[in-house]
């Protein structure tokens, strides 16, 4: 008999498994239908011996000292600041998010101060009465030309929807800068796990109270693994048998390639905002990992309607459908719903860890330890 069955060995499941096993001393069984731990953050050596991320590039960044300190128990870190360039149809590379260099390079200008760049944005910006959609966010800030160059095609590829049909939150995530800062993230902690994500997960789960079973689907074992309580980190609609319908997700397919050359591109990720190619971006892992190797491995990302659930589609009707499932989840005794699939939200890794740690605090206040029932 396990005290807990945890479905999913990603950040949500592994964080809770470790806390419950270590702090509460309870017995935990962690299952995952994939053949590995780590969830979407899983990394592995490819045939050439290069460390790659099977589900696309994962860069750790956080403003939370608590999350950073928590994970530091399970890994050493390598300082890494991610940089992204956008490739124009003519091959020109410009920094993304848009900054002063982007504006100068695209327009043949030599603006030198933030005031000048802000004045440039203001002159381009179109007034929008009520900012509702992703298109409104960008057009009202930097105007239609920059919107069309960087956002329209990219968003249409990424989501299969025009930015005018998407919630404002999608493009609000991407800042526009008047200075020369070309880092993709500005968080206080920006690091990669020195030995990779999978090594960090193995350390988290290496505890005598934790049993890990991969290639194990919940549906196949739910009646054969006796347990008192459960943490569910899979899709919330799947747990309830899709009773109100399927929550829509956008998916991706990845094309991994190894090239017989030391470097492929100048930075970790190059975005392809134009609709002349079907992929959105290409990432080269050696920039992220610091690995020295005569060859290099890259990943192309092709957005897809079908496949693994990656990005909840941010439209009001989907939020309303999720609310129905959330009400069921809240009413389900002894099951805790945690992580990006169980709460139908786009969360970064640090946010999932923070959510799992908050869930653990709730478990601690509501369930006496070793109550046996």
Query: Which positions lie near ligand FAD, rule CB under 6 A?
Result: 7-13, 31-34, 39-41, 55-56, 58-60, 217-218, 233-234, 238, 252, 310, 339-341, 347-350, 352
Q: How far is the CB of 208 from ligand FAD (least distance, A)?
A: 23
Q: How far is the CB of 309 from ligand FAD (least distance, A)?
A: 8
CB closer to ligand FAD out of 151 and 239: 239
Helices (H) and strands (E) in the chain, counts: 14, 17
CB closer to ligand FAD out of 12 and 50: 12
Q: How far is the CB of 23 from ligand FAD (least distance, A)?
A: 19
Q: Give how far Cα 193 sits from Cα of 67, 92, 136, 352, Å.
A: 13, 32, 38, 16
CB closer to ligand FAD out of 149 and 268: 268
CB closer to ligand FAD out of 17 and 139: 17
Give me the residues paired with residue 211 across strands: 29
CB closer to ligand FAD out of 117 and 303: 303
Q: How far is the CB of 110 from ligand FAD (least distance, A)?
A: 33
Residue with tokens 């990394």: 43
Q: How far is the CB of 131 from ligand FAD (least distance, A)?
A: 26
Q: How far is the CB of 192 from ligand FAD (least distance, A)?
A: 10
CB closer to ligand FAD out of 12 and 139: 12
CB closer to ligand FAD out of 143 and 307: 307
Q: Around 277, how many Cα atoms within 13 Å sit in the side-chain half-sphere?
A: 17
Burial class (CB in 10 A: 0-12, 13-18, 19+), 361: exposed
Q: Distance between CA atoms of 156 and 147, rounded to whole angstroms? A: 12
Q: How far is the CB of 197 from ligand FAD (least distance, A)?
A: 9
What is the full DSSP assignment across 109-149? ----SHHHHHHHHHHH----SS--BHHHHHHHHH-HHHIII
Inter-residue contact 309 to 341 (CB < 8 Å): yes
CB closer to ligand FAD out of 16 and 86: 16
Q: Is the peptide bond before 97 cis (omega within 30 degrees of 0)?
A: yes
Q: How far is the CB of 111 from ligand FAD (least distance, A)?
A: 30
Q: Give how far Cα 14 sits from Cα of 134, 198, 332, Å.
A: 34, 11, 22
CB closer to ligand FAD out of 13 and 314: 13
Inter-residue contact 164 to 147 (CB < 8 Å): no
Select the residue whose beta carbon is closest to ligand FAD and give its number: 39
Cα dihedral 180, 182, 187, 193, rounded to 10, equals -150
Q: How far is the CB of 224 from ligand FAD (least distance, A)?
A: 13
Give me the residues paired with residue 5 across strands: 29, 230
CA angle 82, 88, 92 (to 5 degrees): 80
């Amino acid at each position: 008999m396990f005290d807990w069955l945890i479905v999913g060995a990603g950040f949500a499941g592994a964080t809770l498994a470790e806390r419950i096993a270590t702090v509460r001393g309870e017995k935990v069984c962690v299952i995952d239908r994939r053949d590995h731990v780590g969830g979407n953050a899983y990394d592995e050596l490819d045939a050439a011996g290069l460390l790659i991320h099977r589900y696309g590039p994962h860069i750790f960044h956080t403003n939370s000292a608590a999350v950073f300190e928590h994970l530091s128990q399970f890994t050493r870190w390598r300082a890494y600041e991610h940089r992204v360039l956008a490739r124009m149809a003519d091959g020109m590379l410009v920094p993304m998010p848009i900054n002063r260099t982007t504006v100068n390079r695209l327009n043949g200008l030599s603006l030198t101060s933030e005031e000048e760049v802000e004045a440039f944005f203001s002159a381009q910006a179109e007034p929008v009465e009520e900012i509702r959609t992703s298109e409104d966010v960008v057009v009202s800030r930097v105007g239609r030309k920059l919107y069309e160059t960087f956002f329209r095609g990219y968003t249409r590829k990424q989501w299969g929807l025009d930015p005018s049909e998407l919630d404002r939150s999608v493009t609000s995530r991407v800042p526009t800068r008047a200075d020369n800062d070309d880092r993709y993230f500005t968080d206080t902690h920006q690091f990669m796990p020195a030995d990779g994500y999978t090594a960090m997960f193995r350390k988290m789960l290496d505890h005598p109270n934790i049993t890990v079973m991969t290639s194990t689907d919940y549906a196949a074992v739910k009646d054969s693994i006796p347990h008192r309580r459960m943490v569910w980190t899979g899709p919330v609609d799947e747990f309830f048998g899709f009773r109100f319908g399927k929550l829509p997700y956008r998916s991706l397919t990845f094309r991994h390639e190894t090239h017989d050359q030391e470097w492929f591109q100048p930075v970790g990720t190059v975005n392809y905002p134009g609709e002349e190619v079907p992929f959105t971006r290409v990432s080269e892992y050696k920039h992220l990992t610091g690995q020295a190797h005569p060859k290099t491995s890259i990943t192309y990302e092709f957005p897809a309607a079908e496949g693994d659930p990656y990005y909840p589609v941010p439209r009001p009707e989907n939020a309303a459908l999720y609310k129905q499932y959330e009400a069921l989840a809240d009413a389900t005794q002894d099951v805790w719903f945690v992580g990006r699939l169980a709460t139908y939200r786009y969360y970064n890794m640090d946010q999932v860890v923070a959510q799992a740690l908050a869930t653990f605090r709730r478990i601690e206040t509501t369930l006496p330890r070793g109550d046996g029932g």
